C-alpha cells in the first residue's frame, strides 16, 4: 500500500473515517456514563460497537487466478512434443510463404541479388515473425524455444534444408526425439523391430521419443508381447507368413471361439443357451420366466435380454401394449365387447 500512491491515499482516508467513527463512539459512551447507566451495559455496548467498526475498516482483496485461456498458453509439453510443436509451426510458415512468382518489392530484390526467394533471408524473417502465432496450447513454451534456438533455425535454413527440420533439430541437434519406431535415450528399435513394431497391431511405448520402454500396447483384438496373436473373444480370420487378422467372435460367445457365427462359441453369454444344432441361441425370458416382469408391466424379448414396459392406463395387468391387451380393466374402465378393449 505504501508504494502505491493511490492505495496510500485510500488507506489514509479509511483511517481518517475510522478515527472519526471511534471519536463519535467515545463521546457517546461518555454521555452514557454521565447519565449513570449500568456499567455492564456500557461495556457491552462499547464491545459491540468497536467490533463492528473494526469489521468495516477491513478490506479483503481476493486475487484472481489465471484464466482458462492463459493456463492453456502456459502449459508445458514434454521435450520431444515441444520440439515437434516448434518444427510444425515453422513448417506452416514455409507453406504460408511459398510463392511461385514474385510481384516486386523485397522478394523480387532477393530473387535478383541473393538467389531464390525459397531460401532467402526475407522469407526466413517472414516465417520467424509469425512462429507460434497459430499455436493454441503451450504457446509460451513454443515462443521460448523459438528464441532459444533462433541460431539453430538460421543454421538449418542456410545449410540448404537438405534434411527435414524435425530430424535435423529435434533428433540431431537437440537429441530430444528419435526416429519413428525407435525409443529411449539411445534410440533403440521398438519391440518387434523398427520396420514393423508390434507386428503392425499396436503402439510402441515411447515411439519417436527419448522416453518409454518400447513395450507394445496392442490394438483391440490382439495380445502377447508382440501383438501377434488374437485376444480372447477374437479368432484368426486370416494369417500368412507376414500378416494376421483377428476378428471379433459372435456376440453371444462368452470367451473364446473357433470361427465366425454362433456355432463356434466355446460357451454362451447370459441370455443365450447352447443348442447342439445351432450353437448359441437367444433365451426368450418372456416365455421362460413367468415372473419376468412384475406389477402392471408386460415383457418384451430381445436378443440376449428382455425389457419390461408399463401397461396401458386402462389395464390391470396385460400381455402387451394398448387397451386391447389388458388382462383386466383398471378402475373406472370397462370392457367393450364390440371394440375388444377397455374403455373409459
pLDDT for the residue 113: 52
Evaluate whether residue 106 is within a structural domain. yes
Q: What is each CA distance from 110 to 101, 124, 156, in whole angstroms?
A: 12, 12, 19
| Count, residues in the chain | 344
Evaluate whether residue 63 is within a structural domain. no
Residues 34 and 12 in one domain: yes
Evaluate whether residue 204 is within a structural domain. yes
Q: What is each CA distance from 276 to 234, 248, 251, 284, in whole angstroms?
A: 22, 22, 18, 17
State the SS3 of 64-92: CCCCHHHHHHCCCCCHHHHHHHHHHHHHH
From first to last of its 344 residues, the chain has per-residue pLDDT tens of 334 444 444 443 344 444 455 455 455 545 554 555 554 444 544 454 445 544 444 455 666 778 999 999 999 999 999 999 999 999 999 999 886 444 555 555 545 554 578 888 999 999 999 999 999 999 999 999 999 999 999 999 998 888 999 999 999 999 999 999 999 999 999 999 999 999 999 999 999 999 999 999 999 999 999 999 999 999 999 999 999 999 999 999 999 999 999 999 999 999 999 999 999 999 999 999 988 998 899 999 999 999 999 999 999 999 999 999 999 999 999 999 999 999 99
pLDDT for the residue 326: 96
The residue segments making up the domain with residue 337 are 285-343
pLDDT for the residue 1: 36
| pTM strictly above 0.85 | no
Which of 241, 277, 234 has its CA nearest to residue 259?
234
pLDDT for the residue 210: 97
Q: Number of folded domains in the chain?
A: 5
What is 280-329 written as a DSSP string?
EEE--HHHH-TTSS-SSEEEEEETTEEEEEEPPTTBSSBSSSSGGGBSSB
CATH of the domain at 218: 2.10.25
Amino acid at each position: 500500500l505504501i508504494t502505491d500512491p493511490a492505495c496510500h491515499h485510500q488507506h489514509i482516508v479509511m483511517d481518517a473515517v475510522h478515527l472519526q467513527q471511534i471519536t463519535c463512539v467515545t463521546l457517546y459512551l461518555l454521555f452514557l456514563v454521565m447519565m449513570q447507566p449500568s456499567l455492564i451495559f456500557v461495556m457491552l455496548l462499547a464491545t459491540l460497537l468497536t467490533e463492528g467498526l473494526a469489521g468495516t475498516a477491513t478490506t479483503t482483496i481476493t486475487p484472481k487466478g489465471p484464466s482458462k485461456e492463459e493456463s492453456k498458453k502456459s502449459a508445458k509439453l514434454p521435450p520431444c512434443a515441444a520440439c515437434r510443436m516448434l518444427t510444425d509451426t515453422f513448417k506452416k510458415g514455409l507453406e504460408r510463404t511459398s510463392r511461385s512468382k514474385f510481384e516486386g518489392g523485397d522478394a523480387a530484390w532477393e530473387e535478383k541479388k541473393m538467389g531464390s526467394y525459397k531460401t532467402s533471408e526475407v522469407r526466413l524473417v517472414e516465417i520467424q515473425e509469425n512462429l507460434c502465432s497459430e499455436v493454441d496450447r503451450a504457446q509460451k513454451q513454443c515462443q521460448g524455444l523459438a528464441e532459444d534456438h533462433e541460431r539453430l533455425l538460421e543454421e538449418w535454413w542456410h545449410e540448404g534444408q537438405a534434411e527435414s527440420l524435425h530430424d535435423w533439430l529435434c533428433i540431431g541437434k537437440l537429441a530430444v526425439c528419435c526416429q519413428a519406431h525407435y525409443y529411449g535415450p539411445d534410440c533403440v528399435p521398438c519391440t518387434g523391430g523398427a520396420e514393423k513394431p508390434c507386428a503392425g497391431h499396436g503402439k510402441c511405448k515411447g515411439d519417436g521419443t527419448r522416453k518409454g520402454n518400447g513395450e507394445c500396447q496392442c490394438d483391440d483384438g490382439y495380445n502377447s508381447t508382440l501383438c501377434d496373436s488374437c485376444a480372447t473373444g477374437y479368432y484368426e480370420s486370416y494369417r500368412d507368413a507376414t500378416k494376421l487378422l483377428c476378428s471379433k467372435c459372435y456376440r453371444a460367445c462368452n470367451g473364446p471361439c473357433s470361427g465366425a457365427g454362433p456355432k463356434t462359441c466355446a460357451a454362451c453369454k447370459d441370455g443365450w443357451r447352447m443348442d447342439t444344432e445351432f450353437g448359441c441361441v437367444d433365451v426368450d425370458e418372456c416365455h421362460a420366466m413367468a415372473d419376468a416382469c412384475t406389477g402392471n408391466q408386460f415383457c418384451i424379448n430381445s436378443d440376449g435380454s428382455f425389457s419390461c414396459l408399463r401397461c396401458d392406463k386402462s389395464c390391470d395387468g396385460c400381455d402387451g401394449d394398448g387397451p386391447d391387451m389388458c388382462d383386466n380393466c383398471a378402475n373406472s374402465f370397462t370392457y367393450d365387447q364390440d371394440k375388444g378393449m377397455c374403455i373409459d
